[in-house]
Chain A
Protein backbone atom coordinates (compact mmCIF):
# COMPACT_ATOMS: atom_id res chain seq x y z
CA UNK A 1 0.00 0.00 0.00
CA UNK A 2 2.74 2.45 1.00
CA UNK A 3 6.15 2.07 -0.54
CA UNK A 4 9.12 4.24 0.32
CA UNK A 5 12.07 3.75 -2.03
CA UNK A 6 15.57 4.95 -1.22
CA UNK A 7 14.66 8.32 0.20
CA UNK A 8 17.34 10.72 1.39
CA UNK A 9 16.47 13.67 3.57
CA UNK A 10 18.72 16.54 4.56
CA UNK A 11 18.31 19.24 7.18
CA UNK A 12 20.83 21.77 5.93
CA UNK A 13 24.12 19.87 5.96
CA UNK A 14 22.81 17.10 8.17
CA UNK A 15 22.03 13.92 6.29
CA UNK A 16 19.06 12.70 8.33
CA UNK A 17 17.84 9.76 6.24
CA UNK A 18 20.15 7.67 4.09
CA UNK A 19 18.54 5.52 1.42
CA UNK A 20 15.63 4.51 3.58
CA UNK A 21 13.23 2.02 1.98
CA UNK A 22 10.25 0.38 3.54
CA UNK A 23 6.89 -1.04 2.56
CA UNK A 24 3.61 -1.23 4.38
CA UNK A 25 1.07 -3.70 3.00
CA UNK A 26 -2.65 -3.21 3.26
CA UNK A 27 -4.07 -4.29 6.60
CA UNK A 28 -0.73 -4.42 8.37
CA UNK A 29 0.65 -2.76 11.45
CA UNK A 30 4.24 -1.91 10.66
CA UNK A 31 6.43 -0.39 13.32
CA UNK A 32 9.54 1.67 12.97
CA UNK A 33 11.90 1.38 15.92
CA UNK A 34 15.04 3.24 16.81
CA UNK A 35 16.77 5.40 19.36
CA UNK A 36 16.41 9.18 19.65
CA UNK A 37 17.59 10.92 16.53
CA UNK A 38 17.58 7.78 14.40
CA UNK A 39 15.22 9.37 11.89
CA UNK A 40 11.89 7.75 12.77
CA UNK A 41 9.90 10.96 12.95
CA UNK A 42 11.60 12.32 9.84
CA UNK A 43 10.58 9.18 7.94
CA UNK A 44 6.96 9.68 8.95
CA UNK A 45 7.00 13.39 8.20
CA UNK A 46 8.49 12.73 4.78
CA UNK A 47 5.86 10.09 4.05
CA UNK A 48 3.03 12.44 5.02
CA UNK A 49 4.44 15.35 3.02
CA UNK A 50 5.46 17.64 5.87
CA UNK A 51 9.09 17.32 4.76
CA UNK A 52 10.40 16.97 1.21
CA UNK A 53 13.02 14.31 0.46
CA UNK A 54 16.17 15.22 -1.48
CA UNK A 55 15.71 12.17 -3.64
CA UNK A 56 13.99 8.81 -3.74
CA UNK A 57 10.29 8.28 -4.16
CA UNK A 58 7.17 7.45 -2.23
CA UNK A 59 4.35 5.38 -3.70
CA UNK A 60 0.82 5.12 -2.36
CA UNK A 61 -1.11 2.26 -3.95
CA UNK A 62 1.40 2.29 -6.79
CA UNK A 63 1.00 6.01 -7.46
CA UNK A 64 4.02 8.27 -7.08
CA UNK A 65 3.17 10.88 -4.43
CA UNK A 66 6.68 12.23 -3.81
CA UNK A 67 5.80 15.67 -5.18
CA UNK A 68 2.26 15.99 -3.85
CA UNK A 69 1.52 18.33 -0.95
CA UNK A 70 0.54 17.25 2.54
CA UNK A 71 -3.05 18.35 1.85
CA UNK A 72 -3.29 16.16 -1.23
CA UNK A 73 -1.97 13.21 0.71
CA UNK A 74 -4.62 13.65 3.39
CA UNK A 75 -7.20 13.52 0.60
CA UNK A 76 -5.59 10.34 -0.73
CA UNK A 77 -6.05 8.66 2.63
CA UNK A 78 -2.94 9.34 4.68
CA UNK A 79 -3.52 10.65 8.18
CA UNK A 80 -0.75 11.62 10.56
CA UNK A 81 -0.89 11.78 14.36
CA UNK A 82 2.11 13.99 15.03
CA UNK A 83 4.65 13.46 17.78
CA UNK A 84 3.65 14.98 21.10
CA UNK A 85 -0.10 14.85 20.24
CA UNK A 86 -0.34 18.46 19.10
CA UNK A 87 -4.02 18.98 19.73
CA UNK A 88 -5.34 22.53 19.22
CA UNK A 89 -5.30 23.59 22.89
CA UNK A 90 -7.70 26.55 22.88
CA UNK A 91 -10.31 24.74 20.81
CA UNK A 92 -12.91 22.38 22.20
CA UNK A 93 -12.68 18.62 21.74
CA UNK A 94 -15.49 18.79 19.19
CA UNK A 95 -13.76 21.57 17.21
CA UNK A 96 -10.56 19.53 17.18
CA UNK A 97 -12.40 16.54 15.78
CA UNK A 98 -14.19 18.64 13.19
CA UNK A 99 -10.89 20.03 11.98
CA UNK A 100 -9.77 16.44 11.45
CA UNK A 101 -12.48 16.24 8.81
CA UNK A 102 -11.45 19.59 7.36
CA UNK A 103 -11.06 18.40 3.77
CA UNK A 104 -14.33 16.51 3.74
CA UNK A 105 -17.65 17.99 2.73
CA UNK A 106 -20.00 15.03 3.28
CA UNK A 107 -21.73 16.28 6.41
CA UNK A 108 -23.76 13.13 7.06
CA UNK A 109 -20.74 10.85 6.79
CA UNK A 110 -18.69 13.17 8.99
CA UNK A 111 -21.34 12.89 11.69
CA UNK A 112 -21.19 9.12 11.39
CA UNK A 113 -17.45 9.18 11.89
CA UNK A 114 -17.84 11.56 14.80
CA UNK A 115 -20.13 9.02 16.42
CA UNK A 116 -17.61 6.28 15.64
CA UNK A 117 -14.84 8.27 17.37
CA UNK A 118 -17.07 8.94 20.39
CA UNK A 119 -17.93 5.25 20.57
CA UNK A 120 -14.27 4.37 20.54
CA UNK A 121 -13.32 7.07 23.03
CA UNK A 122 -16.34 7.69 25.29
CA UNK A 123 -14.28 10.09 27.40
CA UNK A 124 -14.07 12.45 24.42
CA UNK A 125 -17.86 12.53 24.22
CA UNK A 126 -18.05 13.47 27.89
CA UNK A 127 -15.58 16.27 27.29
CA UNK A 128 -16.66 17.46 23.86
CA UNK A 129 -17.27 21.04 25.00
CA UNK A 130 -14.06 21.24 27.03
CA UNK A 131 -11.01 22.91 25.55
CA UNK A 132 -8.41 20.39 24.46
CA UNK A 133 -5.60 22.02 26.43
CA UNK A 134 -7.29 21.04 29.68
CA UNK A 135 -7.34 17.31 28.89
CA UNK A 136 -4.88 14.90 30.49
CA UNK A 137 -2.02 13.48 28.43
CA UNK A 138 -3.84 10.23 27.73
CA UNK A 139 -7.04 12.00 26.74
CA UNK A 140 -5.08 14.29 24.45
CA UNK A 141 -3.53 11.26 22.78
CA UNK A 142 -6.99 9.80 22.27
CA UNK A 143 -8.15 13.10 20.85
CA UNK A 144 -5.16 13.23 18.51
CA UNK A 145 -5.93 9.71 17.27
CA UNK A 146 -9.64 10.48 17.02
CA UNK A 147 -8.91 13.67 15.10
CA UNK A 148 -6.73 11.73 12.65
CA UNK A 149 -9.49 9.14 12.17
CA UNK A 150 -11.93 11.91 11.22
CA UNK A 151 -10.30 12.20 7.80
CA UNK A 152 -11.29 8.55 7.27
CA UNK A 153 -7.74 7.42 6.51
CA UNK A 154 -6.73 4.29 4.66
CA UNK A 155 -3.36 4.43 6.35
CA UNK A 156 -2.72 5.98 9.73
CA UNK A 157 0.71 7.23 10.84
CA UNK A 158 1.24 7.26 14.59
CA UNK A 159 4.27 9.03 15.98
CA UNK A 160 5.13 7.79 19.48
CA UNK A 161 1.62 7.45 20.86
CA UNK A 162 3.00 6.14 24.17
CA UNK A 163 5.14 9.22 24.80
CA UNK A 164 4.77 10.52 28.34
CA UNK A 165 1.90 8.24 29.29
CA UNK A 166 1.49 6.04 32.37
CA UNK A 167 2.10 2.31 31.71
CA UNK A 168 -1.58 1.41 32.09
CA UNK A 169 -2.58 4.09 29.59
CA UNK A 170 0.10 2.85 27.21
CA UNK A 171 -1.55 -0.57 27.31
CA UNK A 172 -4.91 1.00 26.58
CA UNK A 173 -3.60 3.07 23.68
CA UNK A 174 -1.95 0.03 22.13
CA UNK A 175 -5.09 -2.06 22.39
CA UNK A 176 -6.97 0.80 20.71
CA UNK A 177 -4.37 0.87 17.93
CA UNK A 178 -4.82 -2.86 17.44
CA UNK A 179 -8.57 -2.34 17.35
CA UNK A 180 -8.35 0.39 14.74
CA UNK A 181 -6.18 -1.89 12.63
CA UNK A 182 -8.67 -4.73 12.92
CA UNK A 183 -11.44 -2.53 11.58
CA UNK A 184 -9.46 -2.13 8.37
CA UNK A 185 -7.04 0.74 8.77
CA UNK A 186 -3.40 0.11 7.86
CA UNK A 187 -0.99 1.48 10.44
CA UNK A 188 2.58 2.73 10.38
CA UNK A 189 3.71 3.14 13.96
CA UNK A 190 6.83 4.88 15.22
CA UNK A 191 7.79 3.87 18.73
CA UNK A 192 10.52 3.92 21.33
CA UNK A 193 8.64 1.45 23.46
CA UNK A 194 9.92 -1.48 21.42
CA UNK A 195 8.41 -4.33 23.40
CA UNK A 196 4.88 -2.93 23.23
CA UNK A 197 5.21 -2.06 19.57
CA UNK A 198 6.57 -5.48 18.60
CA UNK A 199 3.71 -7.20 20.39
CA UNK A 200 1.09 -5.70 18.12
CA UNK A 201 3.11 -5.20 14.92
CA UNK A 202 3.03 -7.59 12.00
CA UNK A 203 6.38 -6.38 10.77
CA UNK A 204 9.06 -4.02 11.99
CA UNK A 205 12.02 -1.99 10.78
CA UNK A 206 14.88 -0.75 12.90
CA UNK A 207 16.46 2.60 12.11
CA UNK A 208 19.90 3.61 13.27
CA UNK A 209 21.40 7.02 12.50
CA UNK A 210 19.32 7.43 9.38
CA UNK A 211 19.60 3.95 7.88
CA UNK A 212 17.51 0.84 8.18
CA UNK A 213 19.67 -1.82 9.82
CA UNK A 214 17.18 -4.59 10.45
CA UNK A 215 13.73 -5.70 9.42
CA UNK A 216 11.49 -8.66 9.96
CA UNK A 217 8.23 -9.80 11.47
CA UNK A 218 7.35 -8.65 14.97
CA UNK A 219 8.10 -12.02 16.55
CA UNK A 220 11.37 -12.42 14.64
CA UNK A 221 12.65 -9.16 16.00
CA UNK A 222 11.46 -10.00 19.48
CA UNK A 223 13.71 -13.06 19.33
CA UNK A 224 16.67 -11.23 17.83
CA UNK A 225 19.63 -10.98 20.12
CA UNK A 226 20.62 -7.49 18.91
CA UNK A 227 17.18 -6.08 19.48
CA UNK A 228 16.89 -7.57 22.93
CA UNK A 229 20.18 -6.00 23.88
CA UNK A 230 19.56 -2.63 22.34
CA UNK A 231 15.87 -1.98 22.98
CA UNK A 232 14.32 -4.55 25.24
CA UNK A 233 16.77 -4.37 28.11
CA UNK A 234 18.53 -7.75 27.83
Chain B
Protein backbone atom coordinates (compact mmCIF):
# COMPACT_ATOMS: atom_id res chain seq x y z
CA UNK B 1 0.00 0.00 0.00
CA UNK B 2 2.66 2.45 1.11
CA UNK B 3 4.92 1.27 -1.65
CA UNK B 4 2.15 1.77 -4.22
CA UNK B 5 1.64 5.27 -2.96
CA UNK B 6 5.33 6.02 -3.24
CA UNK B 7 5.38 4.83 -6.83
CA UNK B 8 2.39 6.96 -7.59
CA UNK B 9 4.09 9.98 -6.04
CA UNK B 10 7.21 9.46 -8.09
CA UNK B 11 5.02 9.04 -11.17
CA UNK B 12 3.42 12.33 -10.28
CA UNK B 13 6.86 13.91 -10.07
CA UNK B 14 7.66 12.82 -13.62
CA UNK B 15 4.26 13.94 -14.76
CA UNK B 16 4.76 17.38 -13.24
CA UNK B 17 8.14 17.68 -14.91
CA UNK B 18 6.73 16.71 -18.28
CA UNK B 19 3.78 19.02 -17.78
CA UNK B 20 6.00 22.05 -17.05
CA UNK B 21 8.12 21.27 -20.05
CA UNK B 22 5.22 20.90 -22.45
CA UNK B 23 3.44 24.05 -21.26
CA UNK B 24 6.48 26.27 -21.68
CA UNK B 25 7.36 24.64 -24.98
CA UNK B 26 3.82 25.31 -26.20
CA UNK B 27 3.93 28.93 -25.06
CA UNK B 28 7.22 29.39 -26.89
CA UNK B 29 5.74 27.85 -30.05
CA UNK B 30 2.71 30.12 -30.12
CA UNK B 31 4.96 33.08 -29.26
CA UNK B 32 3.31 34.04 -25.97
CA UNK B 33 6.79 33.76 -24.52
CA UNK B 34 8.78 36.17 -26.63
CA UNK B 35 12.55 36.42 -27.07
CA UNK B 36 12.98 38.64 -24.08
CA UNK B 37 11.05 36.31 -21.80
CA UNK B 38 12.96 33.38 -23.23
CA UNK B 39 16.23 34.99 -22.20
CA UNK B 40 14.81 35.46 -18.72
CA UNK B 41 13.83 31.81 -18.61
CA UNK B 42 17.32 30.81 -19.75
CA UNK B 43 18.83 32.94 -16.98
CA UNK B 44 16.50 31.38 -14.43
CA UNK B 45 17.36 27.83 -15.50
CA UNK B 46 21.09 28.53 -15.48
CA UNK B 47 20.85 30.24 -12.10
CA UNK B 48 18.87 27.32 -10.70
CA UNK B 49 21.61 24.90 -11.76
CA UNK B 50 24.26 27.16 -10.25
CA UNK B 51 22.37 27.76 -7.01
CA UNK B 52 21.35 24.15 -6.46
CA UNK B 53 24.91 22.97 -7.00
CA UNK B 54 26.37 25.67 -4.75
CA UNK B 55 23.78 24.73 -2.14
CA UNK B 56 25.20 21.20 -2.15
CA UNK B 57 28.63 22.63 -1.29
CA UNK B 58 27.67 25.48 1.02
CA UNK B 59 24.21 24.69 2.35
CA UNK B 60 24.43 20.94 2.79
CA UNK B 61 28.12 20.18 3.24
CA UNK B 62 28.80 23.47 5.03
CA UNK B 63 31.81 24.53 2.96
CA UNK B 64 31.67 28.25 2.29
CA UNK B 65 32.72 28.64 -1.34
CA UNK B 66 33.05 31.85 -3.32
CA UNK B 67 34.45 30.21 -6.42
CA UNK B 68 31.37 29.03 -8.27
CA UNK B 69 31.76 31.56 -11.10
CA UNK B 70 35.19 30.09 -11.78
CA UNK B 71 33.77 26.62 -12.40
CA UNK B 72 31.01 28.13 -14.49
CA UNK B 73 33.54 29.95 -16.68
CA UNK B 74 35.47 26.72 -17.31
CA UNK B 75 32.29 25.10 -18.62
CA UNK B 76 31.39 28.17 -20.65
CA UNK B 77 34.76 28.62 -22.34
CA UNK B 78 35.25 24.93 -23.02
CA UNK B 79 31.85 24.63 -24.64
CA UNK B 80 32.29 27.87 -26.61
CA UNK B 81 35.70 26.89 -27.96
CA UNK B 82 34.37 23.53 -29.13
CA UNK B 83 31.17 25.06 -30.52
CA UNK B 84 33.09 27.63 -32.56
CA UNK B 85 34.98 24.79 -34.25
CA UNK B 86 32.17 22.24 -34.46
CA UNK B 87 28.94 24.22 -34.76
CA UNK B 88 26.51 21.33 -34.49
CA UNK B 89 24.33 19.68 -31.88
CA UNK B 90 27.01 17.04 -31.47
CA UNK B 91 29.60 19.75 -30.91
CA UNK B 92 27.35 21.45 -28.39
CA UNK B 93 26.77 18.29 -26.38
CA UNK B 94 30.45 17.35 -26.57
CA UNK B 95 31.37 20.86 -25.44
CA UNK B 96 28.87 20.75 -22.62
CA UNK B 97 30.10 17.39 -21.39
CA UNK B 98 33.79 18.24 -21.65
CA UNK B 99 33.17 21.62 -19.99
CA UNK B 100 31.44 19.93 -17.08
CA UNK B 101 34.13 17.25 -16.78
CA UNK B 102 36.92 19.82 -16.93
CA UNK B 103 35.21 21.96 -14.28
CA UNK B 104 34.80 18.88 -12.09
CA UNK B 105 38.45 18.00 -12.56
CA UNK B 106 39.56 21.49 -11.54
CA UNK B 107 37.14 21.36 -8.62
CA UNK B 108 38.65 18.08 -7.50
CA UNK B 109 42.24 19.30 -7.80
CA UNK B 110 41.51 22.61 -6.08
CA UNK B 111 39.34 20.96 -3.45
CA UNK B 112 41.97 18.51 -2.23
CA UNK B 113 44.29 21.12 -0.71
CA UNK B 114 41.81 23.94 0.04
CA UNK B 115 39.06 21.96 1.75
CA UNK B 116 41.32 21.53 4.77
CA UNK B 117 40.54 25.17 5.45
CA UNK B 118 37.42 26.25 7.25
CA UNK B 119 34.88 29.04 7.05
CA UNK B 120 36.23 32.39 5.95
CA UNK B 121 39.66 30.96 5.07
CA UNK B 122 38.05 28.57 2.62
CA UNK B 123 35.96 31.40 1.19
CA UNK B 124 39.11 33.43 0.51
CA UNK B 125 40.92 30.45 -1.01
CA UNK B 126 38.03 29.63 -3.37
CA UNK B 127 37.69 33.30 -4.26
CA UNK B 128 41.38 33.36 -5.14
CA UNK B 129 40.99 30.22 -7.22
CA UNK B 130 38.15 31.69 -9.23
CA UNK B 131 40.15 34.89 -9.83
CA UNK B 132 43.10 32.80 -11.04
CA UNK B 133 40.83 31.02 -13.51
CA UNK B 134 39.51 34.37 -14.73
CA UNK B 135 43.02 35.78 -15.18
CA UNK B 136 44.05 32.68 -17.10
CA UNK B 137 41.13 33.14 -19.51
CA UNK B 138 42.03 36.81 -19.77
CA UNK B 139 45.52 35.95 -20.97
CA UNK B 140 45.05 32.87 -23.12
CA UNK B 141 45.14 33.13 -26.87
CA UNK B 142 42.43 30.55 -27.42
CA UNK B 143 39.94 32.53 -25.29
CA UNK B 144 40.75 35.78 -27.10
CA UNK B 145 41.68 37.60 -23.88
CA UNK B 146 39.67 40.54 -22.63
CA UNK B 147 37.83 40.92 -25.94
CA UNK B 148 36.23 37.56 -25.32
CA UNK B 149 34.67 35.08 -27.70
CA UNK B 150 31.84 36.23 -29.91
CA UNK B 151 29.61 34.70 -32.52
CA UNK B 152 29.09 31.50 -30.58
CA UNK B 153 26.27 29.68 -32.34
CA UNK B 154 23.13 29.29 -30.28
CA UNK B 155 22.28 25.70 -29.49
CA UNK B 156 20.86 26.10 -26.01
CA UNK B 157 17.09 25.98 -26.17
CA UNK B 158 14.29 25.36 -23.74
CA UNK B 159 14.64 21.60 -24.19
CA UNK B 160 18.30 21.51 -23.13
CA UNK B 161 17.80 24.06 -20.39
CA UNK B 162 14.96 22.06 -18.96
CA UNK B 163 16.62 18.67 -19.26
CA UNK B 164 19.84 19.80 -17.59
CA UNK B 165 18.08 21.82 -14.93
CA UNK B 166 15.80 18.93 -14.00
CA UNK B 167 18.74 16.54 -14.28
CA UNK B 168 20.84 18.63 -11.88
CA UNK B 169 18.05 18.87 -9.33
CA UNK B 170 17.33 15.12 -9.53
CA UNK B 171 21.03 14.25 -9.36
CA UNK B 172 21.66 16.40 -6.31
CA UNK B 173 18.46 15.55 -4.46
CA UNK B 174 19.07 11.83 -4.98
CA UNK B 175 22.67 12.24 -3.88
CA UNK B 176 21.53 14.00 -0.71
CA UNK B 177 19.07 11.22 0.05
CA UNK B 178 21.76 8.57 -0.28
CA UNK B 179 24.06 7.61 2.56
CA UNK B 180 26.78 9.73 0.92
CA UNK B 181 24.49 12.74 1.15
CA UNK B 182 23.78 12.02 4.81
CA UNK B 183 27.53 11.89 5.35
CA UNK B 184 27.92 15.32 3.71
CA UNK B 185 25.25 16.79 5.97
CA UNK B 186 26.88 15.26 9.04
CA UNK B 187 30.15 16.95 8.07
CA UNK B 188 28.32 20.28 8.08
CA UNK B 189 26.68 19.48 11.40
CA UNK B 190 29.82 18.45 13.25
CA UNK B 191 32.98 17.50 11.46
CA UNK B 192 34.70 15.94 14.47
CA UNK B 193 31.70 13.83 15.39
CA UNK B 194 31.39 12.74 11.76
CA UNK B 195 35.04 11.64 11.77
CA UNK B 196 34.43 9.76 15.01
CA UNK B 197 31.56 7.89 13.31
CA UNK B 198 34.00 6.71 10.66
CA UNK B 199 33.00 9.26 8.02
CA UNK B 200 35.95 10.50 5.97
CA UNK B 201 35.15 14.22 6.10
CA UNK B 202 37.74 15.28 3.53
CA UNK B 203 36.47 12.74 1.04
CA UNK B 204 32.89 13.95 1.29
CA UNK B 205 33.87 17.60 1.13
CA UNK B 206 35.85 16.93 -2.04
CA UNK B 207 32.99 14.83 -3.46
CA UNK B 208 30.46 17.61 -2.87
CA UNK B 209 32.86 20.18 -4.31
CA UNK B 210 33.47 18.06 -7.42
CA UNK B 211 29.77 17.41 -8.08
CA UNK B 212 29.06 21.11 -7.51
CA UNK B 213 31.79 22.11 -9.96
CA UNK B 214 30.50 19.60 -12.54
CA UNK B 215 27.02 21.13 -12.44
CA UNK B 216 28.42 24.68 -12.54
CA UNK B 217 30.31 23.60 -15.67
CA UNK B 218 27.03 22.50 -17.24
CA UNK B 219 25.46 25.84 -16.35
CA UNK B 220 28.39 27.66 -17.94
CA UNK B 221 28.10 25.62 -21.13
CA UNK B 222 24.38 26.36 -21.37
CA UNK B 223 25.21 30.03 -20.88
CA UNK B 224 27.79 29.97 -23.68
CA UNK B 225 25.34 28.24 -26.00
CA UNK B 226 22.66 30.82 -25.40
CA UNK B 227 24.13 34.31 -25.12
CA UNK B 228 26.43 34.29 -28.25
CA UNK B 229 29.19 36.09 -26.40
CA UNK B 230 31.66 35.37 -23.56
CA UNK B 231 34.15 37.61 -21.81
CA UNK B 232 36.17 36.95 -18.66
CA UNK B 233 34.66 39.84 -16.71
CA UNK B 234 31.26 38.09 -16.77
CA UNK B 235 32.68 35.49 -14.41
CA UNK B 236 34.16 37.77 -11.78
CA UNK B 237 33.74 37.89 -8.08
CA UNK B 238 30.27 39.44 -8.36
CA UNK B 239 28.93 36.45 -10.27
CA UNK B 240 29.91 34.16 -7.39
CA UNK B 241 28.23 36.53 -4.97
CA UNK B 242 25.06 36.56 -7.11
CA UNK B 243 24.85 32.78 -6.87
CA UNK B 244 25.52 32.85 -3.15
CA UNK B 245 22.74 35.41 -2.71
CA UNK B 246 20.29 33.02 -4.38
CA UNK B 247 21.38 30.18 -2.07
CA UNK B 248 21.20 32.25 1.11
CA UNK B 249 17.91 33.84 0.10
CA UNK B 250 16.32 30.49 -0.73
CA UNK B 251 17.66 28.87 2.41
CA UNK B 252 20.93 27.09 3.06
CA UNK B 253 20.07 23.43 2.85
CA UNK B 254 16.88 23.69 0.81
CA UNK B 255 16.96 22.76 -2.88
CA UNK B 256 13.44 23.98 -3.53
CA UNK B 257 14.42 27.20 -1.75
CA UNK B 258 17.21 27.73 -4.28
CA UNK B 259 14.78 27.12 -7.14
CA UNK B 260 12.23 29.54 -5.72
CA UNK B 261 14.83 32.20 -4.99
CA UNK B 262 16.31 31.97 -8.50
CA UNK B 263 12.85 32.47 -10.01
CA UNK B 264 11.91 35.22 -7.57
CA UNK B 265 15.11 37.22 -8.09
CA UNK B 266 14.80 36.97 -11.86
CA UNK B 267 11.21 38.18 -11.68
CA UNK B 268 12.13 41.04 -9.37
CA UNK B 269 14.95 42.13 -11.58
CA UNK B 270 12.77 41.88 -14.72
CA UNK B 271 10.09 43.94 -13.03
CA UNK B 272 12.65 46.52 -11.96
CA UNK B 273 13.74 47.05 -15.57
CA UNK B 274 11.07 49.75 -15.64
CA UNK B 275 12.95 51.73 -12.99
CA UNK B 276 16.47 51.76 -14.41
CA UNK B 277 17.75 54.49 -12.08
CA UNK B 278 16.60 52.89 -8.90
CA UNK B 279 16.96 49.29 -10.02
CA UNK B 280 19.98 48.26 -7.97
CA UNK B 281 18.83 50.27 -4.96
CA UNK B 282 15.42 48.61 -4.93
CA UNK B 283 16.95 45.20 -5.56
CA UNK B 284 19.34 45.54 -2.63
CA UNK B 285 16.62 46.98 -0.45
CA UNK B 286 14.38 44.01 -1.14
CA UNK B 287 17.19 41.62 -0.25
CA UNK B 288 17.77 43.44 3.02
CA UNK B 289 14.08 43.38 3.88
CA UNK B 290 13.74 39.70 3.06
CA UNK B 291 16.79 38.85 5.14
CA UNK B 292 15.49 40.83 8.11
CA UNK B 293 12.19 39.00 8.12
CA UNK B 294 13.44 35.59 6.96
CA UNK B 295 17.05 35.35 8.17
CA UNK B 296 16.98 31.60 7.57
CA UNK B 297 16.04 32.20 3.92
CA UNK B 298 12.69 31.69 2.23
CA UNK B 299 12.54 27.97 2.94
CA UNK B 300 14.98 27.61 5.84
CA UNK B 301 16.28 24.07 5.54
CA UNK B 302 12.88 22.62 4.61
CA UNK B 303 11.84 21.41 1.19
CA UNK B 304 8.72 22.48 -0.61
CA UNK B 305 6.40 19.50 -0.74
CA UNK B 306 2.85 18.69 -1.71
CA UNK B 307 2.24 17.89 1.94
CA UNK B 308 3.30 21.39 2.90
CA UNK B 309 1.02 22.89 0.25
CA UNK B 310 -1.99 20.85 1.32
CA UNK B 311 -1.17 21.73 4.94
CA UNK B 312 -1.15 25.38 3.95
CA UNK B 313 -4.45 24.91 2.16
CA UNK B 314 -5.96 23.29 5.20
CA UNK B 315 -4.88 26.20 7.36
CA UNK B 316 -6.34 28.73 4.96
CA UNK B 317 -9.65 26.97 4.42
CA UNK B 318 -12.06 26.64 7.34
CA UNK B 319 -11.24 23.28 8.90
CA UNK B 320 -13.70 20.54 8.19
CA UNK B 321 -13.07 18.72 11.43
CA UNK B 322 -14.17 21.77 13.38
CA UNK B 323 -17.52 21.74 11.60
CA UNK B 324 -18.30 18.18 12.51
Contact = CB atoms under 8 A, between A and B. Distances in A.
A48 B196 contact: yes
Nearest to A70: B195
Interface string A55-71: 00000000000000111
A229 to B, nearest CB: 34
Contacts of A89: 189-190
A99 B199 contact: yes
B189 to A, nearest CB: 4
B301 interface: yes
Given A50-B192, A86-B190, A74 B197 contact: yes
A102 B189 contact: no
Given A69-B200, A71-B200, A103-B198, A86 B192 contact: yes
A151 B197 contact: yes
A89 B200 CA distance: 19
A147 B190 CA distance: 14
A196 interface: no
Contacts of B179: 102
Q: What DSSP secondary structure best describes chain B's contact surface?
A: helix
A89 B62 CA distance: 14
Interface residues of A, number: 27
Interface in A67-92: 69-71, 73-75, 79-82, 86-91
B11 interface: no
Interface stretch (B108-116, B180-188, B240-248): B180-188
A115 B105 CA distance: 43
A80 B196 contact: yes
B193 interface: yes
Given A86-B190, A91-B186, A98-B182, A151 B195 contact: no
A208 interface: no
Contacts of A74: 196-198
B63 to A, nearest CB: 16
A100 B186 CA distance: 11
Contacts of B195: 50, 70
Given A86-B190, A88-B190, A91-B189, A99 B196 contact: no
B193 A151 contact: no
A86 B191 CA distance: 9
A156 to B, nearest CB: 11
B197 A102 contact: yes
Contacts of A99: 182-183, 186, 194, 197, 199
A153 to B, nearest CB: 11
A86 B195 CA distance: 11
A87 B193 contact: yes
30 contacts: A50-B196, A70-B195, A71-B199, A71-B200, A73-B198, A74-B197, A74-B198, A75-B198, A79-B196, A82-B196, A86-B192, A86-B193, A86-B196, A87-B193, A88-B185, A88-B189, A90-B185, A90-B189, A90-B253, A91-B185, A91-B189, A95-B182, A99-B182, A99-B186, A100-B197, A102-B182, A103-B197, A103-B198, A151-B197, A151-B198
Given A50-B192, A89-B190, A151-B198, 10 more contacts: A70-B195, A74-B196, A74-B198, A82-B192, A82-B193, A86-B190, A86-B196, A90-B253, A95-B182, A103-B197
Interface of B: 179, 182-183, 185-186, 189-190, 192-200, 253, 301
The 6 A-B residue pairs with the shortest CB-CB distance, nearest first, are A74-B198, A88-B189, A86-B193, A80-B196, A103-B198, A71-B198
